[in-house]
Structure 1
Amino acid sequence: MLDLLSDLYLWIKALHIMSVIAWMAGIFYLPRLFVYHVEEADRLGDHKSLFETMELKLYRVIMNPAMISTWVFGLLLVSIPGVVDWSAVWPYTKIAGIIGMTWFHHWLGRRRKDFIAGENTLTGRQYRVMNEVPTLLMVLIVISVIVRPF
């Protein structure tokens, strides 16, 4: 099994990177939709259902599968001997970033449900600020993997 994973290393890595790109696109876009939902839906009248549909499809059709495939291909990568130096610190800072990104993903899912229930309490400004969280996590993850300063 490990030989097969080693032989497929570049394919697994490519699929992992594509999954990350799709996941990050959704993670950056959904809070922006929330900003528009908060700030514009009332002004536009009966468009709340349009926002809710867009948010649902983005979350369930793009973000969830992308997050799952990111985790699956990432776990396959780290299971290949020699890919990760577990004695270094960088894998653990990357893992912390990934856990943070996963938490943020689920936080967004909860906010989406708040909109549907009519219980959203956050402002457009608060969503704009929260939209910086994945940027910070992305910086931590990329620097951990590429620069490996730790």
Structure 2
Amino acid sequence: MLLWIKALHVVFMVTWFAGLFYLPRLFVYHTQVAATGPEHERMCTMERKLYAIMTVGMVLTWAFGIWLLTLLPGYMAQGWMHAKLALVVALSGYHGWLKLHLRRFAAGTNTRNHVFWRWANEAPVLALFGAVILVIVKPF
């Protein structure tokens, strides 16, 4: 059972990260189309649907992760787990921050340019590297 829970945790983590990688990329494209009209509406629809899918991924990543920790409580005594959880909390905050900007795009009040969103797109890459290294290498 433990391996199934772990596998599902990883599957939903991948789903969540796919959205974390792609939503800022959609914002890059959105900044390059008109703020109103059919292109704007199409981008808003794509962003909203992606956000819904990635939110499911985040919630299920958390759920299966918490389930794993209930089955393996000794992990909570290890430094690498604390660092990983800090990254997951930060990513959850980043997820919420993307929602704020999704709403701004929908309202036509985005003030950020495509360069900003290209840089914002790199944050989850760093978190992914950190989380994978922490879980596999367990440096603490």
Shorter-chain TM-score range: over 0.9
Task: Identify the residue that residue 13 of structure 2 maps to in structure 1.
Answer: 20
- Offset, 1:118: 1.2
- Of all paired residues, the percent bearing the same amino acid is 41
Q: After superposition, give the CA deviation of every residue in 1:58-117 in whole Å (9 maximum; x if it has no partner).
A: 001x111111000000000011136x4333210110001101111111111110000111
RMSD of Structure 2 on Structure 1 (CA): 1.6
Task: Identify the residue that residue 68 of structure 1 maps to in structure 2.
Answer: 59
- Normalising by structure 1, report the TM-score: 0.88
Distance in 1 (CA, whole Å) between partners of 2:37 and 2:6 is 46
Task: Identify the residue that residue 82 of structure 2 maps to in structure 1.
Answer: 92
Give the structure with the larger helix fraction.
Answer: 2
Larger radius of gyration: 1
- Offset, 1:43: 9.4
Distance in 2 (CA, whole Å) between partners of 1:45 and 1:22 is 30
- Offset, 1:128: 0.6
Select the residue among 90, 111, 117 that pairs with 1:121: 111
Letter aligned with residue 50 of structure 2? L
Task: Identify the residue that residue 27 of structure 2 maps to in structure 1.
Answer: 34
Q: After superposition, give the CA deviation of every residue in 1:33-67 in whole Å (9 maximum; x if it has no partner).
A: 0000001x12996310000000000001x111111
Q: Report the more deviating stretch, 42-51 or 9-18.
A: 42-51
Task: Identify the residue that residue 51 of structure 1 maps to in structure 2.
Answer: 43
Paired positions, count: 140
Q: 1:11 to 1:49 in 2, by over 3 A?
A: same
8 Å CA contact retained: 2:15, 2:54: yes
Letter aligned with residue 132 of structure 2? V
- Offset, 1:143: 0.9
Gaps of 5+ in 1: 1-7
